[in-house]
Amino acid sequence: MTTNLKENERLDCLQRKGYRIIQDPGRFCFGMDAVLLAEFAKAKPGNRILDIGTGTGIIPILMEARYDCGSYVGLEIQEESAEMACRSVELNGLQDRISIVNGDIKEAEAYFEAASFDVITCNPPYMIGQHGLTNPEEPKAIARHEIKCTLEDIISKGARLLVPGGKFYMVHRPFRLAEIMTLMSRYKIEPKRMRLVYPYVDKEPNMVLIEGARGGKSRMTVEKPLIVYEKPGVYTHEIYELYGETAEQSMLNGPE
C-alpha cells in the first residue's frame, strides 16, 4: 500500500512485520522510550488496549506487531498528529485492529465508557513548569511538557477507564518517581512492576518503566536494570535484541 507524504514528512521502517510509520521531524518523532514501553507492556488475546497521547501511533503499532491480538485505540490531542497516525495505521492495513481518536484525556468520558479497557499505555510529557519552553503551543513542547494535561490527569482518567484488575503501563523520568507512586496509589492503581533504564552501567537512570494494576494487592517486583549503551556509540546486546537487529542493521540512528 502506498501513501502520499506531506511536506517534511518521512517514512520509517519499524523492523516489525514490515510495518512502517509516517513521521515529521519538525513536529515530534518517537524515541527509544516509546519502543521500551511497547516491549515492557503486556497484552493478552481479546484485550482492549488504550494508548494515551499516542502521537504518531507508534506504541499501538509496535504492540500489535508483537502480540497480534486484541484491539487498540490511540488517543491524541493534537489534530495533525492524530491525522498522521491514522495514515500510518492505514498504510499498514491495520484499520480493523487500531483506531485513532483525536481528543483530550481530560474529557475521556466523552469518548469512552468507564472500565472499558484491559490495558492502558502512556508515554506522557515528562517536564513540568516552563523549563526549556519557547512557544508553548509548538507540537514538540506539547509532547514534552505538561501543557495540555498533567500526570494526575493521566493517572486519574486511566484508573477510571481500566477494568478492575486492568493493567496500566507508563514510561517516565525517575526524578518524578515519588509523585508517580503517590498518584497511582491515590487512584487505586497499585504499582506491581518496575524497571529502571540506565544510559551506561555507571550512570544514573534516566527512564523508569512501571506497571500498575487497578485494585491490585500491595506487592511490587523491581526488575534488573536495563543498560542502553555498552560504550559510546555501541548499544548493549539487550537493546539490539529488543529492536530485533544486529548492530549493523540498527534503526536506532533513524528516529530521534
Asked if residue 214 is part of any domain, the answer here is yes
Identify whether 21 is part of a domain. Answer: yes
Task: Give the pLDDT of residue 230.
Answer: 95
Tell me whether residue 220 is in a domain: yes
On the question of pLDDT at 137 being above 90, the answer is: no
Q: Which domain holds residue 50?
A: 10-243
Name the DSSP letter for residue 127. Answer: B
pLDDT grade for 120, boundaries at 50, 70 and 90 = very high
Q: Is residue 113 a part of any domain in this protein?
A: yes
The DSSP bridge pattern shows strands 229-231 and 234-235 to be antiparallel
Q: How confident is the model at residue 190 (pLDDT cuts 50, 70, 90)?
A: very high
CB atoms within 10 A of CB 223: 12
In this prediction, residues 95-120 reach a mean pLDDT of: 95
Instruction: Note whether residue 82 is domain-resident.
Output: yes
> 72 to each of 127, 189, 211, how far by Cα in Å?
27, 21, 18
What's the whole-number mean pLDDT along residues 217-245? 91
User: Given this model, what pLDDT does residue 112 score?
Assistant: 96
DSSP state of 224: P
Cell numbers placing 181: 507512586
The domain tally of the chain equals 1
Is residue 254 domain-resident?
Answer: no
| 235 falls within a domain | yes
User: Does residue 104 belong to any structural domain of this protein?
Assistant: yes
Q: Which residues pair with 122 in a beta bridge?
A: 52, 170
Q: 247 vs 195, which has greater pLDDT?
A: 195
pLDDT tens digits, residue range 82-100?
Answer: 999 999 999 999 999 999 9
